[in-house]
């Protein structure tokens, strides 16, 4: 369960406006052996275990690629952010709607629980991030049953002819 919550939190950091700050070892779930004040302790506590099996390296790489692909995750002007990014509270979970430069809409659905939610979508919706990794699946509904950030792309009218060729 900790891994699911860690992916949720790193997803929020990477996809938020501004410059994301990822602390050294965060993608490896660096624990510091549960010592909260370790500034004066040795490498046994503060060192990074590069070979730890439980990690989020692939998830972090996917989120960084998505952030680079969509300019809207890197906006710095407040008026642009206000124009393109809106919070939608019409569903049981918070949804952030982002209007892309080419007229498509991205929906970030944020879940912080293990309850099951079903989101019905318009035809042609594409799941591009499933809470753990990049994907490219056409879906008509999304079942969410664990914490995470889920990203759905809805094609704009001018991109309708590209739908099947790009996924």
Binning the chain into helix, strand and coil, the percentages to the nearest 5 are 35, 30, 35
Segments in the chain below pLDDT 70: 157-167
Tell me how far apart the alpha carbons of residues 1 and 56 are, in angstroms, rounded to a whole number: 13
pLDDT at residue 34, as a whole number: 77
Q: Is 16 within 8 Å of 63 (Cβ atoms)?
A: no
Tell me how far apart the alpha carbons of residues 153 and 103 are, in angstroms, rounded to a whole number: 11
Q: Is 5 within 8 Å of 147 (Cβ atoms)?
A: yes
């Amino acid at each position: 369960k900790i891994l699911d919550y860690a992916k949720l939190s790193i997803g929020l950091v990477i996809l938020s406006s501004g410059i994301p700050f990822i602390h050294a070892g965060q993608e490896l779930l660096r624990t510091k052996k549960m010592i909260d004040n370790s500034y004066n302790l040795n490498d046994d506590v503060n060192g990074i275990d590069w070979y730890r099996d439980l990690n989020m390296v692939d998830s972090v790489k996917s989120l960084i690629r998505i952030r680079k692909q969509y300019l809207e995750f890197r906006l710095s002007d407040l008026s642009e952010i206000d124009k393109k990014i809106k919070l939608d509270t019409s569903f049981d979970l918070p949804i952030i709607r982002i209007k892309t430069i080419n007229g498509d809409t991205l929906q970030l659905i944020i879940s912080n629980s293990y309850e099951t939610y079903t989101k019905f979508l318009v035809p042609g919706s594409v799941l591009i991030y499933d809470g753990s990794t990049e994907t490219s699946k056409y879906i008509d509904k999304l079942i969410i049953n664990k914490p995470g950030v889920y990203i759905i792309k809805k094609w704009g009218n001018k991109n309708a002819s590209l739908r099947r060729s790009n996924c």
